[in-house]
């Protein structure tokens, strides 16, 4: 068990591009699957442990938007949380007890990024 994890992930697809309809049901789109794999590759390559198991966690996301288009910040969280679940950071995104998202429009990150910080929920309660 560890105290915190900080990750710089690619800018996620919007929830509108993450899912698609197929045979009357919703499935993860090709773009969504590619995003999940990119996040899993980043988690595998990091030297810090990123496994919270069944702990409840608090997540902060800074969306470094890639361009000047208007964006709803809530359209991006699901792709990030699902990708982190798929990568084994936690057992299920149900464990996210608190979520904070900010949009940062003026930055030097080409293509955008999602800067994610994760801490165990009990750590905040103890602070």
Residue 1, pLDDT score? 46
- pLDDT value at residue 126: 46
pLDDT at res. 124: 53
The answer, yes or no, to whether residue 48 has pLDDT greater than 80, is no
Percent of the chain residues topping a pLDDT of 70 = 92
106: confidence class by pLDDT, cuts 50, 70, 90 = confident
Cα–Cα dist 76/74, whole Å: 5
Give the residue among 8, 126, 127, 117 at the shortest CA–CA distance from 57.
Answer: 117
Span 7-17, pLDDT tens digits = 999 999 998 88
Q: Are 117 and 5 in contact (CB under 8 A)?
A: yes
User: Which ranges constitute the DSSP H helices of 26-74?
Assistant: 30-45
pLDDT tier at 105, thresholds 50, 70, 90: confident
Give kind and range of the element (H or E) at residue 116. strand 113-120
Strand order in the sheet with 96-104: 5-9, 113-120, 57-64, 96-104
More confident residue, 105 or 57: 57
Closest CA to 103 of 5, 16, 12, 17: 12
Domains along the chain? 5-126 (3.30.1330.70)
CA 46 to chain centroid: 15
- Residues 92, 42, 80: CA angle, nearest 5 degrees: 40
Q: Which residues contact 74 (CB under 8 A, 6 or more apart)?
A: 101
């Amino acid at each position: 068990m560890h105290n915190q994890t900080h990750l710089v992930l690619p800018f996620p697809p919007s929830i509108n591009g993450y899912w698609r309809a197929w045979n009357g049901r919703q499935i993860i789109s090709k773009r969504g699957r590619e995003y999940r794999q990119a996040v899993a590759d980043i988690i595998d390559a990091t030297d810090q442990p990123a496994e919270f198991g069944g702990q409840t966690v608090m997540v902060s996301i800074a969306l470094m938007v890639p361009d000047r288009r208007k964006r709803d910040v809530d359209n991006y969280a699901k792709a990030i949380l699902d990708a982190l679940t798929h990568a084994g950071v936690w057992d299920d995104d149900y464990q996210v007890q608190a979520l904070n998202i900010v949009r940062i429009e003026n930055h030097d990150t080409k293509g955008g990024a999602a800067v994610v910080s994760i801490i165990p929920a009990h750590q905040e309660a103890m602070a």
